[in-house]
Structure 1
Amino acid sequence: MFRYSHRALHLVWSTSPLLTVVLAVLTLTAGILPAAIAWVGQLIVDGVVAAMAAEQADTTYVLRLLGAEALLVIGVAASQRGISASQSLLRALLGQRVNVMILEKALTLQLAHFEDSEFYDKLTQARREASSRPLSLVNRTFGLVQNAITLSSYAALLYSFSPWAVVILIGAGLPSFFAEAKFSGDAFRLFRWRSPETRMQMYLETVIAREDGVKEVKLFQLGPRLLQRYRDIFNKLFVEDRKLTLRRDGWGFVLGLLSTAAFYGAYVWIVIATISREITLGAMTMYLMLFRQGQSAVSASLTAISGMYEDNLYLSNLYEYLAQEVPNRDGEADRGPEPARGIEFRHVSFAYPGAAEKALDDINLQIRPGQSLALVGENGSGKTTLIKLLTRLYEPTAGEIYLDGLALSDWSVEALRRRVGVIFQDFGRYQFSVGENIGAGDVRYIDDEARWATAAQTGMAAPFIEDMPEGYHTQLGRWFKGGRELSGGQWQKIALSRAFMRSEADILVLDEPTAAMDAASEAAVFDHFRQSSRDKMTILISHRFSTVRAADQIIVMQHGRIVERGDHNELLAMGGQYAHLFELQAKGYQ
């Protein structure tokens, strides 16, 4: 039950030691004062009875007791307010802390983790509940301590009446506790079981309500269908929720009757004892209050324990996610022994996790400094996968990749990626300023406006950026006030400029970089690109043969294998796949 309690307590303590101490002290105070109030209440009643029986009533003693009780009540109210304020502040700090922990872990994970549906379930579960559960667990722990102190003081006072009263007080709440613990476990198992459906609901919300999906939703009239699917998922989940709620509350009511019966049984017992003059009227008042409030404290304690069990179950999601093993793939080298060798793929093969077929099969190629390579092939032939291996987003399942005569596994990932400027076909369109969108290409200089301008000139984005009202400080996208949306071709020029932010990069990779550009812009971009990368290793992926024909080496890929290689004229002379595709495309322009 308490597997993660100590970790949650440590997490809260490390978030704010001062607030944790304040919360603990106030909790102890709030636990002691109720018993003191009950004891003073007995003295007040007995004092009133004694004053009424006296020939000359002295009210001073009773009034002093009333003043003491008022101060104790004020102390309880102040403690409760302080506890509430401390919890609110800790909740904000802890929510931020846990979310940062989740995001920091995400930065260490490999691309394969994010392409795994089971991992996404873990991430969703951790983010949905874990930011609030640590503080909930700590609050319940402190509440349990508070109620334990209160119950101990109540039990000490009740024991003077009868030890059996203490047994009845505690035992009456046990059935409700065991039922609540069982249903908490059921609720958790239900939560974990339906994570995929919950993620689908979140995805449908995104598709229906975000600007990057709303165009097709409206155009293809998908809205009613997607909304109905959203409703169907909810209805499916609600059936399980309803069953659990009815069972939980039904058993809670039935078992709660036992507590009520125990209280009124004790009530009868105490009243009869008072009538028989075994205890005073003040003692009767105190015992009844102790029993009533004690029963509430027992119920609260048992609920806290049940809640702690539930919190531990949910926290398991967070700590399972944080414990996700990430192999250390980082080498130490920042240079290789033979720079003239460039990039070499030696018998490289790769299969995606869970895939039956290889995405790449026995790939051998070399690109030397100053050379250009073009990759041609059908969609799914493995072109982008090859780039993911080069940038170490994935590791080969067989073979080895070398850079400057040194295996990539021996390179520092940070040093390797500083040498690579890449634009993928699904490049990021950040809802930031123009300058930040370009500067993201090299985070070391993300705020360097001079480098923004230089990269934008190289990437052919400078002309339309300079026409914007706020230039490089113009907000892009429609998510934030004053944002401006770009055309597809303009976004590609921004992404191309981002790749050129890495002025130290000697490996440039362009994956379908001009798919959204018109023919004139495409020709200008590639002419400019060739002039700007004469001394670099360049890899170009494109379906347009007009852009690849100038490459020093062209590789044709099919089903993850290299089927042809050579320059443009050599491949045409072979009369193979490249020549066939080139002729098909050429006919489209005739």
Structure 2
Amino acid sequence: MIFVPGSRNTFKFFIKHSLPACAGLALVTLAGGVLIPLEIRFRGNLIDSILAAKSSGRTILWLILFFVGLAIYNNFSGVIQELLKLKMKYTAAREVIPEINKHRACLEYQYYESSETYNLLQRVYSADTKSKPDEIMVSTCWNFFRLLSIAVQSVWTLQLVSKAGWHTGMIIAVLSVISCIVAIYGSNRVYEARQTTSEADRRAAYYEEILSNRENVSERKLFSYMNFVSEKWKESFSKSLKTNINSSIAFRIRNLTTQFSGLFFSIMIICLSLKPLAEGRISTGFFISVFLGMATLSNSLNVLLPALVSELASNDRYFKDYRKFLKLNTIPDMQIPSRAKSNTETEIRVEPIYSIEFKNVSFMYPGTDRYVLRDLSFRFTSDRHYAIVGANGSGKSTLIKLMAGLYKPTEGDILINGKSIGHYTRSQLNCMFSIVFQDFARYYVTVRENILMGRNEGYVSEGHISDALIRETALKLGLDTGKVPLNAYLGKIFDGGIDISGGQWQLLALTRAFIADANTLVLDEPTAALDPVNETRLYNRFVQLAKEKMTILISHRLGSTKLADEILLLDSGRLTETGTHDELMKKAGLYSTMFNNQAEWYL
């Protein structure tokens, strides 16, 4: 069950999953709050004993041993706290982050194309985010324990200095309230600044990646874009830096105000203690100890307390974002389907696609008022090859996203095997379609793992698909696994990793699509980087391999469309022409014009 954010739930989580570490951190932290007042008291006793020269050697020895123990605690408590926090952080990361990633995987597709919700996802968790959930959870626990420690320290110190008069307690109470109010106000401003800078930080990180990563090294050497990209990076970085500096300056000013207030109140306490000292109501040793202890107490109330309250308030704002994230609509039936199931797994029935029909389908993206597709009606049947063509921006990729159920039609309906697409679960649709998009993913794992990711059941299928089948499928598509071994790691993340060409990445993506074993294959211009002639040759091999499957080719190049049993031409989101290649050429319409204009590409 996914972690529900909040301070109370954070404590419940650690009590359940990491009780020894959590209890240890509480004890070590709270010990600091107890030891500081004891230090004030025993230091006064030690000074009085030395000045009076009447105390026994045993008493002085015990006082000295206390201070030796205090020194040992001060030296080792920080290390112990860090180790305990590390243990708690590991537990939180192990339990919570996989659940967050699973929840993200089940979110509706639209959230990834909305800048507002995408920024929210980045704030909640990403690999390079400033606020990681495991760190926030540990921070919440530790800072709460530190607050309790300061409370124990303040109350006990208040009891000690009350010998000098009731006014000292009142001063400490007022100072604590002022520090908390300033801290809470400042924390809200700091978190708002983080929200403002998150987008600028992401852009700056992207430009920095262009200037430093391996993929761009050739073009960095060949093209003179360094100054241009550097200016882009500087612009984004400067915006982020300016916001952070302004919020930091404002926070520092507020912090300095509380520090000066604390210094003023500390001087007042010392001055007000002079009269009790003169009257003999407090000893010289106690007065000196309080004088020295006020520096520690002032630091706790004026520096540490505002910082802790500020961080806790900031964590609370993070938890609010986390709760917004959990409220985002998810696909309720999203499962990891498996054709090879154990006895404990729930069976997911996957039926072949015999027909796909669009009935008066129109679509506009969420949050917009412009139709991308208008009144589309057509019907595809199995064992046939189709091509959807049109200029860039005509709506081809959007049509495929609707067909695969990534978006719902704004108007009309999509029928699969005569039933509305809403009748099928997300998991069933995942098994029905295998799609290779133009911007296909590159996974820096082994070649075998890359290909097996095409199976909906993921890695569990590794033992059910032979290497011989993988090699045979890859070779038929043109990928020689002799030159690109199945056990070879891709990229330089792992030692011994290899680099492969863009064309080999494309063949790898196509092999992954075939291994997926769906009976409907969709190619959304994944070979756009190839020249037209080689693209046509590759499509020829693809169609030959997919004789018994429904295939849908998406392209703005028309050389490969001759292979299709039926061609659909989209123009500005409308279906304007349908037919075979020969039929459309005879119509002498837009398709014929586009084909003739591209004919010289294939000579």
Could you state the TM-score of these two structures normalised by the residue count of structure 2? Answer: 0.86
Q: 1:588 to 1:547 in 2, by over 3 A?
A: closer
Report whether the alignment pairs 1:495 with 2:543.
no
Q: Determine which structure has more spread, i.e. the larger CA radius of gyration.
A: 1
Q: Indicate the SS of the match to 1:347.
A: strand
1:467 corresponding residue in structure 2: 482
CA contact (8 A) 1:347 1:363 kept: yes
Query: Secondary structure, in 3 states, of the residue corresponding to 2:111?
Result: helix
Change (3 A) 1:9 1:542: same
- Quote the offset at 1:192 in angstroms: 1.9
Note if contact 1:458-1:529 (Cα within 8 Å) is conserved in structure 2: no
Conservation of the 8 A alpha-carbon contact between 1:434 and 1:472:
yes
Change in 2 beyond 3 A, CA 1:71/1:245:
closer
Which residue is equivalent to 1:38? 40
Matches within 5 A, 1:372-521: 372-444=385-457, 446=459, 447-448=462-463, 450-460=465-475, 464-468=479-483, 471-503=485-517, 505-517=518-530
CA distance in 1, matches of 2:257, 2:117: 41
Structure-1 residue corresponding to 2:317: 313
Question: Residue deviations 1:410-464, cap 9 Å, x none?
Answer: 1121122112222222212222222122111114364348545424433446765
Distance 1:465 1:434, change over 3 A: farther
TM-score with structure 1 length normalisation? 0.88
Q: Which residue of 2 is the match for residue 325 of structure 1? A: 329
Report percent identity of matched pairs.
26
Aligned residues: 580
**Preserved CA contact (<8 Å) 1:343 1:404:** yes
Query: Helix, strand or coil for the counterpart of 1:471?
Result: coil
CA RMSD of aligned residues (A): 3.1
- 1:129 counterpart residue number: 130
| CA offsets 1:482-526 (integer angstroms, 9 cap, x no match) | 3333333322221111111023x2111122344444677555544
Structure 1 position 472, deviation (Å)? 0.9
Q: Could you tell me how far 1:330 is from its partner in structure 2?
A: 6.2
CA apart distance, 1:290: 4.8
User: Displacement, 1:96?
Assistant: 5.7
CA shift, 1:217, in A, is 4.4
Per-residue deviation, 1:244: 3.6
Shift of 1:535: 2.5
Runs of 4+ in structure 1 deviating by more than 6 angstroms, as ranges, are 329-333
Q: 1:424 touches 1:512 (CA, 8 Å); kept in 2? A: yes
Greater Cα offset, 66-75 or 347-356: 66-75
Query: Which residue of the other structure, out of 280, 284, 299, is the alignment partner of 2:287?
Result: 284
Once the two structures are overlaid, the 10-residue window that deviates more, 389-398 or 263-272, is: 263-272
565-574 or 43-52: which moved more? Answer: 43-52
What CA distance in whole angstroms lies between the structure 2 residues aligned with 1:355 and 1:544? 29
Equivalent residue for 2:101? 103
Q: Which runs of no fewer than 5 residues in structure 1 stay unpaired? A: none
1:263 and 1:519 map into 2 onto residues whose CA distance is: 81
2:237 paired residue number: 234
SS in 2 for 1:477: coil
Give the SS at the match of 1:361.
strand
- The 10-residue stretch of structure 1 (259-268 or 169-178) with the greater mean CA deviation from structure 2: 169-178
Q: How many Å separate the matches in 1 of 2:241 and 2:198?
A: 14
Say if 1:200 and 1:123 are closer, same or farther in 2 by CA, change over 3 A.
same
Deviation at 1:68, TM superposition (A): 4.3
Partner of residue 85, structure 2: 87
Q: Distance in 1 between matches of 2:477 and 2:400?
A: 28
Q: Contact 2:150–2:305 at 8 Å: present in 1 too?
A: yes
Quick check: 2:108–2:329 contact (8 Å CA) kept in 1?
A: no
Are the equivalent residues in 2 in contact too, given 1:41–1:286 (CA < 8 A)? yes
Instruction: Select the residue among 559, 565, 576 that pairs with 1:563.
Output: 576
Task: List per-residue Cα deviations over 1:113-163 (Å, max 9, x = no partner).
Answer: 111111222223233233133322222111011111122222222234422
Name the aligned partner's letter for residue 475 of structure 1.
Y
One-letter code aligned to 1:85: L
SS in 2 for 1:211: coil
Q: 1:215 to 1:278 in 2, by over 3 A?
A: same
- 2:106 counterpart letter in structure 1: T
Distance 1:239 1:27, change over 3 A: closer
